[in-house]
């Protein structure tokens, strides 16, 4: 098959949607070499990931409306058998050209928490999501929770949706010398809590800080990620409440160093208000580190038995979970063992095979 992909996020997004796109496409190319993979994107020459995908068939586009209006013509010209929109969107009228389409729907955050988005953006997203849900031959939902959201909010027939989790590969086998080098580089000699993710209101970093004020413990928090105005608000809170000695802001870390942070942490704390999935949860479990996460949306699904679940709106609840986790090596060990096993559900090989099975089904059906 000739399979086309919307590669905008693959080339230009460094976090969730981009990580999903790169891992899936790389996995497909590695495990199913018999197919050809075409990547449609603009400004590829400006991407830090260009070299990584240089052996793929790159199809650059031009014009501000190309991804929505002009892309269908290019896909038809390239004689694609199937097109996969990796992040919520499909080009207009492709369904009229006889090409099977798949779209991955990650979340409906703008519906669940509209205050986080300007009015115009919400309307545009809603139009795009609704169009994709209506015209795609099949929809991949990244969690059961997202599947339920699509059925409730967009009246999508259940049989049109396949739940295929994002690929989250296990880390490389630890190298003691490399681990020690990273630990020395960042001074990771004492136990710490870990937060990984964008620093924005939805991720609820302030909830962790409020819990630290309630908790009697003194364990520091290491924050991996960055943000805009919300990060400034968080940093002000840290200073105003005397937490500066206990909070370290690391910014973004190289991918090869992040597993060492997971392994050295006592637990990942991830009390997000809403997630379509929650990749850091599984990354932490792969590294044998238990998590404290929210009892809502997709997070119980992603974290499984490797977590203590909390009410994200209750700093007291988060603080209690931190106390349990820090005081019981037995609990941490039990959660670690169960979490590692649970994380095997999300390996790249399994996700790629489920995805390819869907492609093959569509290519041979009259769906």
Mean predicted confidence (pLDDT) in 280-303: 97
Parent domain of 16:
2-167+347-364
Query: Which tokens belong to 151?
Result: 């059925």
Longest dimension (CA), the chain: 64
> Same structural domain for residues 112 and 247?
no
> Same structural domain for residues 39 and 158?
yes
Place of tokens 């290491």: 222
Residues 261 and 253: their CA atoms lie apart, in Å, by 10
* Backbone angles phi and psi of 128, in degrees to 5: -65, -45
Residues 39 and 59: their CA atoms lie apart, in Å, by 6
Mean predicted confidence (pLDDT) in 84-88: 97
**Alpha helices of 32-101 — where are they, by DSSP H?**
71-77
Predicted pLDDT at 367: 55
> Same structural domain for residues 235 and 289?
yes
> Same structural domain for residues 245 and 309?
yes
**Rg, Å, the chain Cα set:** 21
Q: Is 226 exposed, middle or buried (0-12, 13-18, 19+ CB in 10 A)?
A: middle
pLDDT tens digits for 256-269? Answer: 999 999 999 999 99
pLDDT tens digits for 122-168? Answer: 999 999 999 999 999 999 999 999 999 999 999 999 999 999 999 99
Total count of domains within the chain: 2
SS3 label, residue 248:
strand
> Same structural domain for residues 10 and 106?
yes
Report the CATH number at residue 359. Answer: 3.40.50.2000
> Same structural domain for residues 227 and 146?
no
Residues 98 and 82: their CA atoms lie apart, in Å, by 9
Residues 164 and 171: their CA atoms lie apart, in Å, by 21
pTM of the shown model:
0.92
> Same structural domain for residues 55 and 191?
no
């Amino acid at each position: 098959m000739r399979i086309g992909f919307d590669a905008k996020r693959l080339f230009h997004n460094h976090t969730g949607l981009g990580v999903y796109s790169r891992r899936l496409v790389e996995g497909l190319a590695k495990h199913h070499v018999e197919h050809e993979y075409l990547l449609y994107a603009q400004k590829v020459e400006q991407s830090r990931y260009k070299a990584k995908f240089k052996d793929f068939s790159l199809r650059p586009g031009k014009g501000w409306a190309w991804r929505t209006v002009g892309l269908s013509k290019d896909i038809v010209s390239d004689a694609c058998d199937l097109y996969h929109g990796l992040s919520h969107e499909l080009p207009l009228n492709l369904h009229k050209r006889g090409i099977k389409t798949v779209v991955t729907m990650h979340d409906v955050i703008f519906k669940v928490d509209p205050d986080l988005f300007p009015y115009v953006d919400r309307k545009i997203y809603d139009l795009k999501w609704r169009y994709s849900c209506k015209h795609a031959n099949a929809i991949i939902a990244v969690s059961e929770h997202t599947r339920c959201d699509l059925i409730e909010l967009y009246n999508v027939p259940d049989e049109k949706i396949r739940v295929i989790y994002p690929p989250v590969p296990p880390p490389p086998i630890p190298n003691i010398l490399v681990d020690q080098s990273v630990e020395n580089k960042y001074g990771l000699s004492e136990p710490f809590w870990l937060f990984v993710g964008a620093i924005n209101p939805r991720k609820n970093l302030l909830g962790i800080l409020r819990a630290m004020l309630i908790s009697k413990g003194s364990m520091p928090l290491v924050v991996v990620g960055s943000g805009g105005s919300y990060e400034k608000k968080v940093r002000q809170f840290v200073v105003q409440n005397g937490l500066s000695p206990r909070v370290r802001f690391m910014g973004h870390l190289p991918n090869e160093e992040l597993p060492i942070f997971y392994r050295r942490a006592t637990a990942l704390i991830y009390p997000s208000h809403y997630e379509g999935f929650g990749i850091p949860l599984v990354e932490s479990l792969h590294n044998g580190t238990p998590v404290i996460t929210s009892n809502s949306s997709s997070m119980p699904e992603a974290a499984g038995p490797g977590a203590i679940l909390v009410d994200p709106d209750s700093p007291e609840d988060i603080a209690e979970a931190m106390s349990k986790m820090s005081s019981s090596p037995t609990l941490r060990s039990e959660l670690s063992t169960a979490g590692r096993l649970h994380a095997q559900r999300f390996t790249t090989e399994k996700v790629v095979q489920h995805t390819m099975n869907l492609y093959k089904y569509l290519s041979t059906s009259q769906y």
